[in-house]
Amino acid sequence: MPDPSESISEPRRRLIDTARRMAPSGLNRGTAGNLSMRVRENGEDGYLITPSGMDYDALASEDIVFMRPDGTSIGHRKPSSEWRFHHDLYARRPEVGAVLHAHSPFAVSLSCLRRDIPPFHYMIARFGGDTIRCADYATFGTQALSDHALAAMRERCACLLASHGMLVFGQTPEHAFGLALELETLCEQYWRASHLGAPVLLSGEEMRAVLEKFAGYGQQA
């Protein structure tokens, strides 16, 4: 019979390993950002989330916080101050398996302009629509910010948070991390192209064709 502690530690290890990739990749600096993963632990459904204000390199398994669906937590650390939009995404979007929030340079730069990212590149469709929306501003950690974020992520798996950063969800922590890298790359490309002029945008028809192709993107026989 497998050791129960091993089944508990594996999701925590994956969460820590992915969180530690964020700074070297350029998605974060210091203790900014947060990461979570939907789990069932000790017979309870909920999610694991990184703790508030801790260096990812210093994290141990017991530092990861388990959050229940009612918003209460288990653990000796405080959960990330942004736990509310993690909580609401898991509650309202059953397809969400992991959530990543980052203060990456180009996403932050564009979020300070408080504009949606238009269809300048077909890879915008990777996130579920023909734009990447920028959520309205609200103070970090508030219910208002979570409400704005969920509205911006309607039919999307990512958004910018005004004057703040990015928010992405995926099936796993590794998947969410990969999508965050793709989003930051698009933000950088749009930022650079905009310095030379107004980027040419793909039409609605062109983006609909791309969205149809993305319906089966990456699926292997």
**Nearest by Cα to 66 from 33, 43, 41:** 41
Catalytic residue among 82, 95, 184, 188: 82
Q: How many domains does the chain have?
A: 1
Say if 51 falls within a structural domain: yes
Q: Is residue 106 part of a domain?
A: yes
Distant-in-sequence, close-in-space partners of 43: CB < 8 Å, separation ≥ 6: none
pLDDT band (50, 70, 90) for residue 9: confident
**Cα(208)–Cα(211) distance, rounded to whole angstroms?**
5
> In the predicted model, what is the mean pLDDT of the chain?
93
Q: Is residue 64 part of a domain?
A: yes
Domain membership of residue 108 (yes or no) is: yes
Let me know if residue 221 belongs to a domain.
Answer: no
Q: Is the pLDDT of residue 16 over 80?
A: yes
Report yes or no on 151 lying in a domain: yes
Flag whether pLDDT at 183 surpasses 60: yes
* pTM for the full predicted model: 0.92
Q: Residue 197: how many CA atoms within 13 Å on its side-chain side?
A: 3
Return the CATH number at 60: 3.40.225.10
Q: Which range marks the domain in which residue 85 is found? A: 4-214
The residue-averaged pLDDT of 59-74 equals: 94
- Give a yes or no: residue 220 inside a domain: no
Mean pLDDT for 36-49 is: 94
List, in sequence order, every residue forming a beta bridge with 45; answer none if it has no partner: 40
Least trusted range by pLDDT, from 2-6, 60-64, 201-205:
2-6
Would you place residue 221 in the very low, low, confident or very high pLDDT band (cuts 50, 70, 90)?
A: low
**164 lies in a domain?**
yes
**Catalytic residue check, 212:** no
